[in-house]
Amino acid sequence: MNLALRKIIYDPISYIHPQRVSLNNARISNPVLRSITNEMILLQYNLSVEHFSLNSSLIYYINNWKLFPLICLLSGCHFYRERFAERGFFYKVPDVLGIIYQLYRWK
């Protein structure tokens, strides 16, 4: 099984925002604690851990999984671009959004 896919399926804590999962404000770095927490998340949300066949598009998404938060941010900014422009948001954007804004001019 692809290593990235294994991390996505069996290690949901690796991509959940740290503020959502914490134990008394302690980072979950202990392997046993991390394993138990992952198991609890899988059970709580009924996440599937079954094997399934991979096609080329799934492999593409799996290999680019780390870009997903940035893609969501860019999609949200594109969707709300008029509101952001009205409120002067584009003067305070992070560097990565400024670069994208300059490239595409939010058309």
pLDDT in tens, 4-35: 888 888 888 888 877 776 666 566 778 888 88
Q: In the prediction, which pLDDT does 37 show? A: 87
Domain boundary assignment for the chain: 1-63, 66-107
33 in Cβ contact with 53 (< 8 Å): no
Please give the full DSSP string across 25-66, using - where no structure is assigned.
TB---SHHHHHHHHHHHHHHTT---------HHHHHHHHTGG
Q: In the prediction, which pLDDT does 39 show? A: 92
Angle at 55 between CA 54 and CA 60, to 5 degrees: 95
**How does pLDDT run across 36-74, given as a tens digit for each residue?**
889 999 999 898 888 777 788 888 888 888 888 888 888
